[in-house]
Amino acid sequence: QLQLQESGPGLVKPSETLSLTCTVSGGSISSSSYYWGWIRQPPGKGLEWIGSIYYSGSTYYNPSLKSRVTISVDTSKNQFSLKLNSVTAADTAVYYCARHVQSRDWFDPWGQGTLVTVSS
């Protein structure tokens, strides 16, 4: 059974870079047709897709965040990562990683999520 687990600092200072990693277990991140995405949810609010990556390194991002986001993949560790720079309090959210299939881009399964707070 495929499982995803987010990890990284729970507290980031304003203007710094948020860095998270998603570790995939129970399956290979290099499986063809699968994309790996990041979604976030501010406390008490809705969901926002951040961006996604294919095992080859091909990425696509939400234009609203594109200038600040980098998603990368490490197939040797079965992991993919998120970097969001120049963070502000508005970036405080639960960050989820999830899998989706090319051209069938619903998200399933999801990681449990990790809360990142931006505060000095």
CA dihedral 45, 46, 50, 52 (to 10 degrees): 140
Q: Does 108 bind another protein (CB under 8 A)?
A: yes
Letters for 34-73 (x = contact with another protein by CB under 8 A, - = none) are -----------xxxxx----------x-xxx---------
Using the minimum distance from each CB to another protein, give the nearer residue, 44 or 76: 44
Task: Compose the 77-106 pattern: x for residues touching another protein by CB under 8 A, - for all others.
Answer: -------------------x---x---xxx
Contacts of 75 (CB under 8 A, 6+ apart): 29, 30, 55
Whether the ω angle into residue 42 lies within 30 degrees of 0, i.e. cis, is no
Beta bridge partner(s), residue 39: 49, 96
The distance of closest approach from Cβ of residue 3 to another protein in the complex, given in angstroms and rounded to an integer, is 11
Does 117 sit near another protein (CB under 8 A)? no
